[in-house]
Structure 1
Amino acid sequence: MIRKVAATAGLAFALTSGVAAYKSARNDARATRDYPPIGQFISIDGTKVHYVIEGDGPPLVLIHGAGGNLRDFTFQLTGKLAKTHTVIAFDRPGHGYTQTLNDQGESLQEQAALLKAATDALGYPDAIIGGYSYGGAVALRWALDYPNATKGVLLMNAVSNPWVVPPSKLYALAAAPVTGAVLGTALSAFAPKSLVEDTLTSIFAPKPAPDGYLDYIGAPLTLRKVTLRANGRQVNGLLPFVEEQSLRYGTLTMPVEIIHGAEDKSIPPTIHADVLAKQLQNVTYTKVAGVGHSVHHYAHDEILAAVGRLTR
């Protein structure tokens, strides 16, 4: 009897796993088909990096947040910035169409080094570096590691300082070898559209998501196995890197512009921007009332003004 139950359970698991694997592969392929690369590629030491470059003028690099891709910037912001600057937006490792560097979770140093090398190879050795959310932590690492090549730093709702409340346990599960594979396949196969919509609601609150954003951003790209797992590893391992580099912010001398939504619940300004503004030597801090974690969509005037100050 026990053997029969075990055999039945094993068969059911195998069938379920097979269905999940099939749907996951199908959905990943559909995401790639429906949201193909919109930029170009450059190879850095064998790693394929996806980027979009627009405009003409002083170079400005943009680095997106956790689980996102460069479409988050090209939806509206890059077009406005490109009127005065050469804007280079990258997909971070494991996101969009940039390949992963390793299966351990790329450090802030590794990500900054990869994107700096790509920027150099494109012919822009000196640039203003902009980062949103997780990308802000990468931008800060870039400035710390390459201060003489960083003309200024633009931080938008940036992760900058250590926190106490841990991120969702899903990140830890996604980061682990066994549970990561299972969770990545399951989410890729079965995640409902409502999950994406609820996530966007929390990110943009108290504002709504801009019209057309959900269709443009390519949420299915985020739900691919490779991105779910890369993002899980990166977010799960982020805190020690932030703890280490936060002790060095006082050494930065280039101008830094901080723009942060006052209502941000994901990256609270009381933990990040408010603290960072006191750690830096040469900083302008703009806290935007009535805006949450979506400051790069609802504070374009403030961002354009900040970039203007950095370019002087």
Structure 2
Amino acid sequence: MARSFKKTGASPGKAGAIAAAATAAVLTALWVQHRARKAERENPPVGRFVEVDGVRLHYIEKGQGAAVVLLHGNTVYLQDFIGSGLFDRLAENHRVIAFDRPGFGYSERPRNRVWTAQAQAVLLKKALAKIDVERPVLVGHSWGTLVALGMAVDAPSFVRGLVLVSGYYYPTARLDVALTAPAAVPLVGDVLRYTVSPLTGRLLLKRTVKAMFAPAPMPENFFDVMPREMMLRPIQIRAEAEDAAFMIPAAAHFRHHYSKFSMPVSIFAGAGDLVVDVEAHSARLHREISHSTLTVSPGAGHMVHYTLADEIVDAIDSMSDHATMARPTPAVAEST
């Protein structure tokens, strides 16, 4: 007599595979958490903390004189301005402050709010007021330019001048946003940040940084100044993914305000930038802000502040020395 059987669940082989995958995920998450804690033990905070609206922000400060605020881009954190030399050089004649933006380095990024460029600008402006910073020159690199623009749009009288380096200023389609966005999604992103993302990050980080510098070489001491394990922590991966997701909407919002800027604006870019197209963003912004200056380095890429440090310092000096200076003559310069 033939007998019929009903399937009551997954086969033993499939159930074993699921259990093995779950175990591997848990072990990977524990390893990732261990590496993140180890990175923080080996690389303690180098600066101070200020708490604003329940968020603890990490920053460094040095020097005296007119204030300059440095806002880093995605992937990196405030040590980028130490590695480029800008922080120490500016501190010779200025009071210079560099923040870890929320979720980067040692700054917190609570999950109970949406961290748009505008939200970060509001929070950092409050932090600056709390440490008695008035009318600073804002220096933004890459994603940090969006935070600088947020302050300039919402509080133009607060901003003495804008120095925008390798920025993204107009909404365009971005493949990197689509690839990064899943790590920003709740639950799914949590799994990715503790499993797949840190592992792929270890494989791709050096190549990514080299592409950011290209065609210039990556400095040999880059990862000594900015340890890679700090960039691979789950909290920073989430910050990077969320910032990528908010980048296009921020540019779409700010683009309507550029022609209204009256403060001095200096724009810097690398002609070989593989991250942001110079003509579509920096050159276009220069044309729209008629009193701005644009300096393009033919031998540099996205990390042009390493190549054009002297020119950036000169631009900041000119903005700081004369609070009521006349608008600069429109110009496009090339630096070798």
TM-score (norm 1): 0.95
Partner SS for 1:89: strand
Q: Secondary structure at the match of 1:62?
A: strand
1:193, distance to aligned residue in structure 2 (A): 4.2
Please provide the CA RMSD for this pair: 1.6
The alignment partner of 2:46 has SS state of coil
Question: 1:188, CA displacement in angstroms?
Answer: 5.8
Contact 2:146-2:250 at 8 Å conserved across structures: no
CA contact (8 A) 1:60 1:87 kept: yes
Task: Give the aligned partner of residue 170 of structure 1.
Answer: 179
Equivalent position of 1:84 in the other structure: 93
Corresponding residue for residue 36 of structure 2: 28
How is 1:189-204 mapped onto 2 (pairs within 5 angstroms)? 189-191=198-200, 193-204=202-213
Which structure has the larger Rg? 2
Q: Tell me: CA distance 1:191–1:31, structure 2 relative to 1, closer, same or farther (3 Å).
A: farther
1:295 and 2:304 are equivalent in the alignment: yes
- Cα distance in 1 for partners of 2:58, 2:145 equals 19
Q: 2:150 aligns with which of 136, 141, 144?
A: 141
1:1-312 matches, within 5 Å, as 2-75=10-83, 76-102=85-111, 105-187=114-196, 189-191=198-200, 193-311=202-320, 312=322
In structure 2, list runs of 5 or more residues that go unmatched.
1-6, 323-336
Q: 1 CA distance for matches of 2:282 and 2:74?
A: 18
Q: SS at 2:163's partner residue? A: strand
Letter in 2 for 1:29: R
SS at match of 1:237: helix
> Would the aligned equivalents of 1:104 and 1:233 in 2 still touch at CA under 8 Å?
no
State how far apart, in whole Å, the 1-side matches of 2:112 and 2:275 are. Answer: 26
Amino acid at match of 1:151: R
Q: What is the TM-score normalised by the length of structure 2?
A: 0.89
Shift, 1:282, TM fit: 2.5
Percent of pairs with identical residues: 32
CA–CA separation in structure 2 for the residues paired with 1:82 and 1:278: 31
Partner amino acid for 1:132?
A: H
Q: How many residues align?
A: 312
Unmatched 5+ stretches in structure 1: none
1:251 to partner: Cα distance? 1.1
Q: 1:130 to 1:138 in 2, by over 3 A?
A: same
Give 1:304's aligned amino acid: V
Question: What is the CA–CA distance in structure 2 between the aligned matches of 1:88 and 1:46, rounded to whole Å?
Answer: 21
| Contact 1:27/1:188 (<8 A) preserved | no
One-letter amino acid of the counterpart of residue 275, structure 1: R
